[in-house]
Structures are given as C-alpha cells and as structure tokens.
Amino acid sequence: MKLRIRYAKRGRLRFSSTRDFQRALERALRRAGVPMAFSAGFHPHPKVSYANAAPTGTASEAEYFEISVTERVDTESLRAALDEALPDGLDVLEVVEAAPGSLADRLQASDWVIEFRGVPVEEVHAAADELLSRDVVEVSRTFKTGPRTFDVRSAVVSLAVSASEEADCAILRVVVRHTTPAVRPDDVLTALRAVTELAPPTPPLVTRLAQGPLHSATAGVADPLAADENDDGA
C-alpha cells in the first residue's frame, strides 16, 4: 500500500530545511508505529519520496510526500498518530491511498501569499501591474552549478493584491507555474524589485497555500490528492 500525505510547515518550523524534516519524519514514523516498507541492500531505508518542498524560510500549508507500507492501514488513524509524533509546527493534514500515476507530475503550480509589512497597497499594486505588463523579466540566482539567469514572467500565472486587516500591510497572491529552473517566491520578489524598485523595509512573510494541478480556466490550483476531475479545465 502506498500513501500520499499532505503536511504543513508553520511558525518557527518554516526555517527547517528539507533534510531537517526528513530526520524528524523518520523518527516520527518509528514513534507512531507505521509499518514502513524498506529498500533492499546493505543500508535499507524507508521507502519515502518527497515532492517539491518549499524553500527554507517559507511557511506552507501544502507539502507532500509518499510512503510505502507493508500492510493496509486506516489512513485517519495513521494521520493522527504521525501528527502527534511530529514536532509542533510540522502538522499532518491529510493521508490518502495513492492513486495511479506520479504525484510529482500532478504538482504543476503553486499558490503563494506574500505579506508586505510597512508597504502601502498602492505600491505593491503598481509593481504587480508592471510585472504583468512585461513579456520577459529575467533574474539571476546561484545554483550548485553556478549563477544562472532565467525568466520569471513566463512562470507567473496570476498576481492579485489586497489590503491586510493590519495597517500598512499589503497582501500579494501569486500563482506560479512549476518550471525548470523552479521560480521561487524570492525570484518573484527580485523581479518586482527589478521592474519598480519595490523594497520592503522588512523581509516579506511567505506562505504556500496550495500546490497541485493548474486549472487553466480559473488560473487556480487544484487538490493533487483528489480524484481527477478534468483538472486542465478543457
């Protein structure tokens, strides 16, 4: 039996890396008594695969991994046990039996919310409009292979700006298509700064709200754990 699991990364745990989560998860799986399947060979390890983790420093309500187990389990009981075994801030939200096909292939886009504290809504709105008006906005980032320049604009599906309940705080919702290389929220921020010199006084708070199939008719992100319902909007 293969399971697909959605978890959240909240609060201070947004600063945990993928490797930090992997270590915490392996301990939690043992503590929760999950009947894990292991790989063969001299150094067997749990059959767990991770998909498109959020960058360190960003919160997320939509992180995913798959795990193979050696016997059928009650998914809600496993969810509760695993959630209890993980540290506060790493919260298991949903466990389902894996459907046919690749989970990674279903993670086509991400829906991010970015909070700009101390920045007027009008300033963020102007930056978003300017970015959307461009055909190409290139940024550079250093990868393991060295510096690389790539286009951010082609990955941005939509931008929406709204006011927060807090004074002087603008909210930016960004739907980004998953590309190679991946366009991250910090790349979007760099692109906004490049087109209008937007410079928040404090680092924006970034949270991934969803990732999954991209619905072309609404520019929204669908649930990757749900059954296929003509996700492409055709």
Question: Using one digit for the tens of pLDDT, what is the confidence trace for 50-69?
Answer: 999 999 999 999 999 999 99
For residues 113 and 185, the answer to whether their CB atoms sit within 8 Å is no
CA dist 16 to 58, 59, 63, 87, 179, Å? 9, 10, 13, 11, 24
In the chain, the amino acid numbered 155 is: A
Average pLDDT, integer, range 211-219: 86
Helix (H, G, I), strand (E, B) or coil at 60: strand
pLDDT at 230 over 50: no
Q: What pLDDT is stored for residue 231 in this prediction?
A: 43
Task: Give per-residue pLDDT as tens, 133-180.
Answer: 999 999 999 998 999 999 999 999 999 999 988 778 999 999 999 999
Q: What pLDDT is stored for residue 233 in this prediction?
A: 42
Q: Where are the beta strands (DSSP E) in 75-204?
A: 90-97, 109-117, 138-143, 146-151, 156-163, 169-177
Helix (H, G, I), strand (E, B) or coil at 79: helix
Percent of the chain clearing pLDDT 70 (strictly above):
97
For residues 103 and 51, the answer to whether their CB atoms sit within 8 Å is yes
Peptide bond into 55 cis (omega under 30): no
Residues in the chain: 234
Q: What pLDDT is stored for residue 234 in this prediction?
A: 39
For residues 29 and 105, the answer to whether their CB atoms sit within 8 Å is no
CA pair distance 185, 152, nearest whole angstrom: 10
pLDDT at 205 over 90: yes
Percent of the chain clearing pLDDT 90 (strictly above):
84
Helices (H) and strands (E) in the chain, counts: 5, 12
Q: Predicted confidence band at 218 (pLDDT cuts at 50, 70, 90)?
A: confident
CA dist 160 to 10, 29, 69, Å? 23, 39, 41
Task: Give per-residue pLDDT as tens, 23-54.
Answer: 999 999 999 999 999 988 888 889 999 999 99
Domains of the chain: 2-105 (3.30.70.580), 108-221 (3.30.70)
Nearest partner of 219 among 170, 158, 169, judged by Cα: 158
- Its pTM stands at 0.91
pLDDT at 110 over 70: yes
Average pLDDT, integer, range 87-99: 96
Q: Is the model more confident about 219 or about 84? A: 84
Q: What pLDDT is stored for residue 228 in this prediction?
A: 60
